[in-house]
Amino acid sequence: MVQRRIPRPHDLAPLMRFKKPTWDAKQRRLQSALTIQDLRRIAQRRTPRAPFDYTEGAAEAEISLARARQAFEDIEFHPAILRDVSTVDTGWEVLGKRVALPFGIAPTGFTRMMQTEGESAGAAAAAAAGIPFSLSTMGTTSIEDVAAAGGPDGRHWFQLYMWKDRDRSMALVDRAAKAGFDTLLVTVDVPVAGARLRDTRNGMTIPPTLTPKTVVNAIPRPAWWIDFLTTEPLAFASLDRWSGTVAQLLDTMFDPTVTYEDLAWIKAQWPGKLVVKGVQTLADAKRLTDLGVDGILLSNHGGRQLDRAPIPFHLLPDVVREVGRDTEVHLDTGIMSGADIVAAIALGARFTLVGRAYLYGLMAGGRDGVDRMIEILSGQIARTMRLLGVASLEELEPGHVTQLQRLVPRPAPVVAAPVPAPAPSAPRRRSASGSGARSTAAGAGTRTSGTRSRATGAPSTGAPRGDA
């Protein structure tokens, strides 16, 4: 028989701890976010539809982006046990300088439209965390202001879109060099703008087109409007005023005739490191490496250009195997967690960039939101490394990662003479260790391996890619 009694407060006190209230609403909001998806939900609540969709959206049917995300979700990790992971080092050298974490902030255009603090918030948060910040040619904060926001500890990269007016493009490059930017990211996957259908449907123009729908959508988002109306007017920092959609702007300004020769010319003018952003085939990766670039960034522009473009994460092992000794291989598109970043490093990437994850943080809480985004990703990176049994990025290797099979590309079909149908035979019995069973070692069975050893470039234990 259970004996009951009246609860006494001093008995209850050790059993229940009340959370200290956080009076700062922004901090309360940000601390409630435990993942980038949580930051995204907060961002969506606070940002009008047109800028939110401009961030979130991709090209055409948005298949590239969905596939890139799926590829990360389909990772399987293979932890080593009984390792000393009491301390873990999440940093190493990227393009000749140390970074504290294996990711940086990707260049994004029109950033102050998402949240008024824009690039200054990104640059300051990146500098505080010891990671690089990339400023887009389509940025809404000047090169010099970004340098000032990052301060003396900031590491800044400038992203170049080559315009038809080459002198003006190179004048920007000059300014970036003078302001101490150490790396030029030359984006090469925008000969013309991708079809961002959400922007067309939302009437996303510069300046924003107000319709009755836009205004209704704005009503529950007063903070964004107050910021928008009471701060420096939104404008491209490096372009003239523009009236139209972003896609129209890209098509008017950008030079679709840019070739490898132009890239060599740009490289000759730039005193720092040069990375080519938007590499999507092994052949181009090899050609760029022969040209002597310092890095190639495997990227499909976050799915915003060619829909159904290759998934950068899938390209990674082959590109690392072929050119990884001669140039740094970086990767972006679809990264939403620290585990995604760890997997990319394990398969040989030297560095990764995050675009939307950063903008979700920015929209959720300005500079503090970007800090929170970095905190979430860095916590996930350190925890994933520890759980994998590695104490440094150098210890990560392809054997730590395999990928469930469904999204892995098959080789192009070889057209051969028709094979006669096999004679019918008795159905085979499945043994416990047979084809249907999961292998415990990296790579066999229904999965495909992350493929190569970082040190030797030799195939690892799994089935070769595309064998399924």
Ligand X SMILES: Cc1cc2nc3c(=O)[nH]c(=O)nc-3n(C[C@H](O)[C@H](O)[C@H](O)COP(=O)(O)O)c2cc1C
Active site residues: 301
Binding part of the chain for ligand X, among 252-260, 318-326, 356-364, 370-378 by CB under 6 A, reads 356-364
Looking at the DSSP bridge assignments, the partners of residue 183 are: 157, 273
For ligand X, which is the closer residue by CB, 280 or 449?
A: 280
158's tokens: 């400038």
Residue with token string 């310092």: 294
- Asked if 391 and 83 count as a contact pair (C-beta separation under 8 A), the reply is yes
| Interface segment toward ligand X; rule CB under 6 A; list 19-27, 330-338, 418-426, 456-464 | 330-338
Residues in contact with ligand X, shown as a per-residue x/- string from 299 to 318 under the rule CB under 6 A: x-xx-x--------------
Binding part of the chain for ligand X, among 76-84, 230-238, 328-336, 363-371 by CB under 6 A, reads 328-336
Distances (CA, A) of 181 to 148, 169, 174: 11, 15, 10
Q: Which long-range contacts (CB under 8 A, 24 or more apart) does 316-320 make?
A: 316/344, 316/347, 316/348, 316/349, 317/347, 317/348, 317/398, 317/450, 317/451, 317/452, 317/465, 318/282, 318/451, 318/465, 319/279, 319/282, 319/285, 320/347, 320/348, 320/349, 320/452, 320/454
In a 3-state reduction of DSSP, which class is residue 75? strand
Q: How many residues bind to ligand X according to rule CB under 6 A?
A: 24
Per-residue mark of binding to ligand X, 92-131 (x: CB under 6 A): --------------xxxx----------------------
Q: How far is the CB of 450 from ligand X (least distance, A)?
A: 21
Residue type, 338: G
Indicate the residue among 43 and 463 with the shorter CB distance to ligand X.
43
**Complex with ligand X: residue 359 or 364, whichever CB lies closer:** 359
Residues 248-277, interacting with ligand X (CB under 6 A): 277
Q: Which residues pair with 163 in a beta bridge?
A: 254
Q: Which is nearer to ligand X, 109 or 399 (CB)?
A: 109
Chosen residue from 116, 187, 238, 384 binding ligand X by CB under 6 A: 187
CB of 303 to ligand X, least distance (A): 7
337 binds ligand X (CB under 6 A): no
Please identify which residue in 238, 327, 333, 380 interacts with ligand X, judged by CB under 6 A: 333
**Pair 187, 278: CB distance under 8 Å:** yes
Residue whose CB is less far from ligand X, 157 or 390: 157
- Give the bridge partners for 466, in sequence order: none
Does position 141 interact with ligand X (CB under 6 A)? The reply is: no
Q: Three-class SS of residue 169? A: helix
Q: Whole-number minimum distance, CB 21 to ligand X, in Å?
A: 34
How would you label 430-458 residue by residue, b for 16+ Cβ within 10 Å and e otherwise?
A: eeeeeeeeeeeebbbbebbbbbbbbeeee
Q: How far is the CB of 301 from ligand X (least distance, A)?
A: 5
Comparison of 107 and 338: residue with beta carbon closer to ligand X = 107
When the beta carbons of 359 and 385 are compared against ligand X, the nearer one is 359
Q: How far is the CB of 299 from ligand X (least distance, A)?
A: 5
Contact in structure between 438 and 418 (CB atoms under 8 Å)? no
Interface with ligand X in residues 367-426 (CB under 6 A)? none
Query: Does residue 447 belong to the site contacting ligand X (CB under 6 A)?
Result: no
Q: Which residue is nearest to ligand X (CB)?
A: 355
DSSP per-residue letters across 38-56: HHHHHHHHHS-HHHHHHHH
Taking Cα atoms as reference points, which of 178, 170, 148, 125 lies closest to residue 366? 125
138/376 with CB nearer ligand X: 138
Retrieve residue 147's tokens: 């340098």
Least distance between ligand X and beta carbon 124 (Å) = 19
- Interface with ligand X includes 356 (CB under 6 A)? yes
Region from 85-93, 323-331, 351-359, 381-389 binding ligand X, contact rule CB under 6 A: 351-359
Question: Which token pair is 334?
Answer: 């679809």
> Comparing C-alpha atoms, which of 337, 388, 291, 301 is closest to residue 77?
388
Q: Which of 335, 363, 377, 382 binds ligand X (CB under 6 A)?
A: 335
Q: Is 202 in the site for ligand X (CB under 6 A)?
A: no
Burial classification of residue 428, based on how many CB atoms lie within 10 Å of its CB (0-12 exposed, 13-18 middle, 19 or more buried): exposed
Q: Which is nearer to ligand X, 288 or 357 (CB)?
A: 357
Q: Which residues contact 203 (CB under 8 A, 6 or more apart)?
A: 50, 209, 211, 214
For residue 122, how far is the Cα from the chain centroid?
Answer: 14
Least Å from the CB of residue 160 to ligand X: 9
Residues forming the site for ligand X (CB under 6 A)? 54-55, 106-109, 136, 138, 159, 187, 277, 299, 301-302, 304, 332-335, 354-357, 359
